[in-house]
Amino acid sequence: MTELKDELTGLHNRRSFLSLLRRHIGFANDRQSLLALVVIDIDGFAQINSSSGYAFGDRVLQHLAAQIEAVTRAQDYAARIGDNRFAVILPRILNHGHAELAVQKLFRLLEIPIESEGTKLSLPVTAGVALCPAHATHAEYLLRMAELALATARMEGRRYLFAPDVPQTNALSVLWDLELELAGAIDRGEMSMYYQPQVRVSDLQLIGAEALMRWDSRARGEVSPDVFIPLAERTGQIKKLTIWALNTALRQAGEWRQAGEPLSVSVNLPGEMASQRDLPDLVENALQLWGKDQVRLMLEITERSLMDRERAQEILGRIRDSGVRISIDDFGTGYSCLAYFKNIPADELKIDQSFVAAMLTDTASADITTLIIELAHRFDLAVVAEGVEDPATYALLKSGGCDIAQGFLFGKAMASSEFEGWIVGYPRAVANIKTNASVEV
């Protein structure tokens, strides 16, 4: 079937690649064997295109595709999964070293330069490798692990990197049990949503809350979201949890009361869901069910979810058309560049806590924060600072023109009923925060 192949290179296209990957992960599971996924990127491909022309760019892609095919065995699959991004599935490898050999062989072949009108060019490429089941057992997540390894390799100036080591066998079996327990957690009523207030920086008015998931496991007590969210992503359970979170947050936020503007509620969206076609319907259904008038919905996505940029842009665009706003979470921790701000499908940027926390002690962090704020404003994005813990940081953010703040200074995440009480008491707390902030500037 032609639509499963990439026209330019004849390799599998992204869609066909993902379904092959899913299938082979299934086989690997049945056979209890090991599978490796290698993702390869041409460095500075945009420059090659602009300096030597698109026709040459196409030749480069075809050349790389041919080299990749030359190193693959009969049972392997090569695909072009992005403009200048390729992937190879290596099913049935015996060990980690086996995947490393394949990557090294490819790099050796790429040292043979490609010729064009007298100029010779050896292709600079970077690769990332992830192993199944060691790093992930879910196709999208395995791909993400390999892509992250690639991004890290590029940042550290290495030619390739494996995804970081995961816990050893003993801990793996604990994770395995946790995975099973997580699967039943919603039905057992162990999941709940907590809400952390967000306030307007200029006058400390409450404007809404971020919804954060909590798991109080009957068997193990409270499990941190930093443990169970990645686990849910790795094992394909995150979608179900997200739909539950979205509906719960809209239902509970509908019960909050404050005079004036309706409050907003921000729900975290895992990376892979930002480019799923059924997302706009899922969101619309939840809004229909719980009503649009009482609450303003915001979805928080991370920079990484914009990796499949075009697709995410289209899907997030549809969601924004229906009045839902998009916020870019943990901003500054990814690989953002200036170009990132152009046509960004978002309304808000959340500056990562690590910058906010360091503002008082590290001038570079304070400078970065102020720059992000200025730049974001120029692109009509509101800016949220998270992790605001003390009045001095709040004062600094205020002078830097930050729009919204969230952090322990105002309130921690709390159950919905507790938050309703907090809303009532908050106006009295405001005077205190104001005095402390002006004392500390």
Nearest CA among 40, 264, 245 for reference residue 159: 40
The answer to whether 198 contacts Ca ion (rule: CB under 5 A) is no
Query: How, if at all, do strands 125-132 and 414-415 pair?
Result: unpaired
The answer to whether 408 contacts ligand C2E (rule: CB under 6 A) is yes
Pull the structure tokens for residue 69.
């095919």
- Report the residue from 41, 329, 348, 403 that binds Ca ion according to the rule CB under 5 A: 329
For 28, 153, 234, 356, the CA distances from 198, given in Å and listed in that order, are: 46, 36, 30, 15
Cα–chain center distance at 73: 33
> What SS3 class is residue 324?
coil
**CB nearer to ligand C2E: pick between 103 and 204:** 204
Q: Which residues, numbered 251-270, are part of the site for ligand C2E (CB under 6 A)?
A: 268, 270
Burial class of residue 157 in the structure, from the number of CB atoms within 10 Å of its CB (0-12 exposed, 13-18 middle, 19+ buried):
exposed
> What SS3 class is residue 347?
coil
**CB nearer to ligand C2E: pick between 102 and 263:** 263
Whether residue 33 contacts residue 150, with contact meaning beta carbons closer than 8 Å, is answered with no
The answer to whether 40 contacts ligand C2E (rule: CB under 6 A) is no
Nearest CA among 72, 78, 159 for reference residue 124: 159
Q: What angle do CA 352, 357, 358 make, to 5 degrees?
A: 105
By CB under 5 A, which span of 51-59, 193-201, 327-335, 431-439 interacts with Ca ion? 327-335
Give me the phi and psi of 222, to 5 degrees please: -70, 130
The answer to whether 272 contacts Ca ion (rule: CB under 5 A) is no
- Say how many Å lie between the first and final Cα of the chain, rounded: 67
We find the least distance from the C-beta atom of residue 350 to Ca ion, in angstroms, to be: 5
User: Mask 323-362, x = binds ligand C2E (CB under 6 A)?
Assistant: ------xx----------------------x---------
The answer to whether 348 contacts Ca ion (rule: CB under 5 A) is no
Q: What, of ligand C2E, Ca ion, none, does residue 408 touch, CB below 5 to 8 Å by kind?
A: ligand C2E
The answer to whether 117 contacts ligand C2E (rule: CB under 6 A) is no
The answer to whether 225 contacts ligand C2E (rule: CB under 6 A) is yes
Q: Which residue is nearest to ligand C2E (CB)?
A: 407
The answer to whether 147 contacts ligand C2E (rule: CB under 6 A) is no
Size of the site for ligand C2E (CB under 6 A): 21
- Report the residue from 76, 147, 190, 300 that binds Ca ion according to the rule CB under 5 A: 300
The answer to whether 245 contacts ligand C2E (rule: CB under 6 A) is yes
Residue type, 98: H
We find the least distance from the C-beta atom of residue 386 to ligand C2E, in angstroms, to be: 6
Residue 140, CA atoms < 13 Å, CB-side half-sphere: 21
- Report the residue from 28, 143, 209, 229 that binds ligand C2E according to the rule CB under 6 A: 229
We find the least distance from the C-beta atom of residue 386 to Ca ion, in angstroms, to be: 5
Evaluate the CA torsion angle 311, 313, 314, 318 in order and state its sign.
positive
**Residue numbers of the site for ligand C2E (CB under 6 A)?**
196, 212-213, 225-226, 229, 242, 245, 268, 270, 329-330, 353, 386-389, 406-408, 413
